[in-house]
């Protein structure tokens, strides 16, 4: 909220000084008038424009960061769901459990496959099933040993 | 009959859709509840309806959590307590977007609690610890206090945090709404002021214009003096 307010203040200052210039009847050709105009009108206007631009860039960055967090939370929820369903999920299960569209569920599962967290399996009926190897073998983690002992 | 209304996203977790929990006898009230962080979204009017029920009705359907949920900062994704006003790592202002209308919500702090209220749709977001603080400890007492006050027994009043919250937070959106309505109503009954408004505006514009000319001339003369020096 600070930047838009500061931009509005600078824009108001620039307008105020522009009003002063228009009412003064000063000759535009005079170097002193041009310099005064640049200093009192141009500079605040440029400052206001830069502040507005910076504010929008910040907002766009935050929107992107929120989208990234959404995706990460959804991945975590899919892995939790996989743990509850024996390490195998279908896109329909994810869609119904997380209340997202089947397309969004499939995209999220495919992204997990690409990153190596899941692998695609096909059932006898031709159903695409996403298997989570790590989740399926969590029960055996108590038998873990040092890498050199394995 | 399946639930056909759209499920809302959790404003804290992001990426999680809230479930609808039926509360009260016969499930008369449906509260949007996030199974991940344990928070709840109460739409306008639902707080009052929930108030009419005993606290136990709410906890029959919601699981109580002992550990306080730590959210992730929406900007730097660091771990953050919901009570923090800003992220200690990146300075992100800990304000949520309304799950219903996606507008930024305003925060109301009272008695150590920090509730998020949407000024547009007048819903309220309760974090899990806020739900517990209000509905578990002081809420029934607050209700009794209000009943006693209405019955004219001020000596028996209790003034705990629940009472303060009831009086301030829950009615704040209504008060704001009625305040705006009252202001609009008052404005509609002052046509004289509206009639003289153009004259006042013209006079003000002239005064501002003269001031602007003076300031600009002073600055131009200062700069002119600098140019003459060269």
Report residues of chain A scoring pLDDT below 70: 1, 150
- Across the interface, of A32, A66, A74, the residue whose CB is closest to B74 is A66
pLDDT value for B183:
63
The answer to whether the Cβ–Cβ distance between A66 and B208 falls below 8 Å is no
Does the CB of B208 have a partner CB in chain A at under 8 Å?
Answer: yes
Residue-wise pLDDT for B36-83, tens only, equals 999 999 998 888 888 778 878 888 888 888 888 899 999 999 999 988
Query: What pLDDT, on a 0 to 100 scale, did the predictor assign at position B144?
Result: 47
pLDDT at site B7:
86
Question: Could you write out the DSSP letters of every residue in B56-111?
Answer: HHHHHHS---SSPPEEE-TTT--EEETT-SB-TTT--B--PBPTTT-PBPEEEEET
How many Å lie between the alpha carbon of B127 and the closest alpha carbon of chain A? Answer: 18
- For residues A72 and A38, is the Cβ–Cβ distance under 8 A? no
Average pLDDT over residues B95-124: 89
Please tell me the distance from the alpha carbon of residue A140 to that of residue A134, in angstroms, as a whole number: 10
For chain A, what are the domain ranges? 2-21+32-65, 76-140
With tokens 């569920």, the residue in question is A105
Confidence tier at B167 by pLDDT (50, 70, 90): low
Q: How many CB pairs under 8 A join A and B?
A: 87
- The whole-angstrom distance between A62's CA and the closest CA on chain B is 6
In this structure, whether the domain defined by A76-140 belongs to CATH 1.10.10.10 is answered with yes
Predicted model pTM: 0.69
pLDDT of B219 reads 85
Residue of B15, B208, B219 with shortest CB distance to A74: B15
Say if the Cβ atoms of B219 and A39 lie within 8 Å.
yes
pLDDT over 90 for what percent of chain B?
A: 27
Q: Pick from B77, B208, B224: which is nearest to A69 by CB? A: B77
pLDDT score at B18: 93
Among B22, B25, B38, which Cα is nearest to B133's?
Answer: B38
- Give the pairing of strands B113-117 and A88-89: unpaired
Whether residue B5 is predicted with pLDDT greater than 90 in this model: the reply is no
ipTM: 0.73
For chain A, say whether B21 makes contact (Cβ under 8 Å): no
* Mean predicted lDDT score pLDDT of chain B: 78
What residues of A are in contact with residue B16 (Cβ under 8 Å)? 73-74, 77, 98
Q: Output the pLDDT for position B157.
A: 39
Structure tokens at A77: 């929820």
* Residues in chain A closer than 8 A to B77 (CB atoms): 65, 68-69, 72
């Amino acid at each position: 909220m600070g930047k838009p307010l500061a931009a509005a203040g600078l824009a108001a200052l620039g307008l105020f000084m522009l009003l002063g210039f228009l009412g003064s009847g000063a000759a535009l050709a005079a170097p002193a008038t041009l310099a005064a105009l640049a200093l009192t009108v141009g500079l605040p206007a440029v400052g206001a424009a830069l502040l507005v631009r910076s504010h929008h860039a910040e907002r766009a960055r935050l929107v992107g960061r929120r989208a990234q967090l959404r995706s990460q939370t959804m991945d975590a929820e899919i892995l939790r769901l996989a743990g509850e369903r024996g390490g195998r999920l279908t896109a329909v299960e994810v869609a119904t459990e997380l209340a997202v569209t089947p397309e969004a569920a499939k995209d999220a599962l495919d992204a997990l496959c690409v990153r190596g967290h899941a692998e695609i399996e096909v059932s006898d009926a031709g159903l695409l099933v996403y298997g989570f190897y790590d989740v399926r073998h969590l029960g055996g983690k108590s038998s873990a040993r040092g890498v050199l002992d394995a | 009959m399946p639930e056909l209304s759209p499920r809302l996203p959790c404003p804290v977790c992001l990426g999680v859709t809230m479930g609808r929990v039926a509360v009260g006898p016969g499930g008369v009230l449906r509260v949007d509840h996030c199974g991940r962080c344990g928070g709840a979204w109460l739409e306008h009017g639902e707080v009052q309806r929930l108030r009419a029920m005993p606290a136990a009705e709410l906890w029959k359907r919601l699981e109580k959590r002992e550990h306080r949920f730590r959210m992730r900062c929406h900007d730097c994704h660091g771990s953050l307590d919901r009570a923090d006003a800003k992220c200690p790592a990146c300075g992100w202002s800990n304000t949520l977007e309304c799950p219903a209308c996606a507008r930024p919500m305003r925060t109301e702090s009272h008695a150590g609690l920090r509730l998020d209220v949407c000024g547009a749709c007048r819903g309220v977001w309760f974090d899990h610890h806020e739900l517990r603080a209000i509905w578990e400890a002081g809420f029934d007492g607050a209700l009794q206090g209000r009943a006693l006050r209405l019955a004219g027994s001020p000596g028996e009043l209790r003034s705990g945090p629940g009472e303060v919250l009831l009086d301030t937070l829950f009615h704040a959106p209504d008060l704001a709404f009625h305040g705006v309505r009252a202001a609009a109503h008052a404005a509609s009954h002052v046509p004289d002021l509206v009639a003289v408004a153009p004259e006042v505006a013209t006079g003000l514009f002239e005064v501002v214009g003269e001031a602007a000319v003076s300031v600009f001339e002073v600055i131009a003369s200062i700069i002119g003096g600098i140019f003459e020096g060269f």
